[in-house]
Amino acid sequence: MWPTRITDGRLELRPLRRRDFREWNELRRRNAAWLQPWEATVPPTEGRPAMTFGQWIRESNRAARAGQSRPWAVWLEGRLVGQVTVTGITRGSLSSAAIGYWISRDVAGRGITPRAVALAVDDCFGTLGLHRVEINIRPENAASLRVVAKLGLRDEGVRKAYLHIQGHWADHRTFAITAEEVTGTMVERLEANLAAAAAAAAAAAAVPAAPEPREIPGS
């Protein structure tokens, strides 16, 4: 069923609406340079005209109602901060989907993106009953690689010339997870991974540094 909202404390996933245009447009304007290196583009051979915001919202909701995608905006305490979109939803023997996302630079690194993606994965496995979810990332996108590392997704290698990015076909690394690999929920998996990483960092910090070697007179 669409539209669907997912609420998790201060974080909410919900579809964009026409009245969100000004806030969305301003957010995109402020983050243009931050997002541009990773933005998908349309090959010039297609000659597809750009859609207006209203047309884009209408087409996104049509695809969502048809069961093809889940286009969420990410809201933090009522403020729009990014998007998480489930695309390529396929039923039958494949039973899979892909997830893409972006987040505003001013809130990056605060754990919002991994949490939002975990909520979307839980929706894919729980609500939609899918078997597999993948995320495709440019090899040089360090911030996005940290997201999948926190989630504990499996690295399945490089797809050559996978997606059209900023005027050329770019390689991507594919990270995936299946429903059978998740015990409990993806949010719980994320929390466990973060706790384990924090414990490991604390243990490493507690190890005393080796003493500096001293010179022995006459040696």
pLDDT digits (tens, 9 = 90+) for 117-145: 999 999 999 999 999 999 999 999 999 99
Phi and psi at 51, nearest 5°, equal: -90, 150
Q: Would you say residue 118 lies in a domain? A: yes
User: String of b and e for 122-161 (b: at least 16 CB within 10 Å)?
Assistant: bbbbeebebbbbbbbbbeeeeebbebbebbbbeeeeeeee
3-state SS class at 172: strand
121, part of any domain: yes
Instruction: Look up the pTM and report it.
Output: 0.90
Q: What CATH number corresponds to the domain at position 89?
A: 3.40.630.30
Q: What percent of the chain has pLDDT over 90?
A: 82
- Give the model's pLDDT for residue 204: 87
**Sign of the torsion angle spanned by Cα atoms 133, 137, 143, 145:** positive
Where do we find the tokens 């403020």? 79
Is the residue at 40 inside a domain?
Answer: yes
Give 64-74 pLDDT, tens digit per residue: 999 999 999 99
> Is residue 127 domain-resident?
yes
For 117, residues 6+ apart whose C-beta sits below 8 A from its C-beta are 84, 99, 101, 135, 147, 151
Domain-embedded: residue 169: yes
Domain count, the chain: 1
Q: What per-residue confidence (pLDDT) applies to 128?
A: 98
Report DSSP state, residue 50: P
Tell me what the pLDDT averaged over the chain comes to: 93
Render pLDDT for 156-214 as a digit per residue (tens, 0 to 9).
999 999 999 988 999 999 999 999 999 999 999 999 999 999 999 998 888 776 677 77
User: Predicted confidence band at 41 (pLDDT cuts at 50, 70, 90)?
Assistant: confident
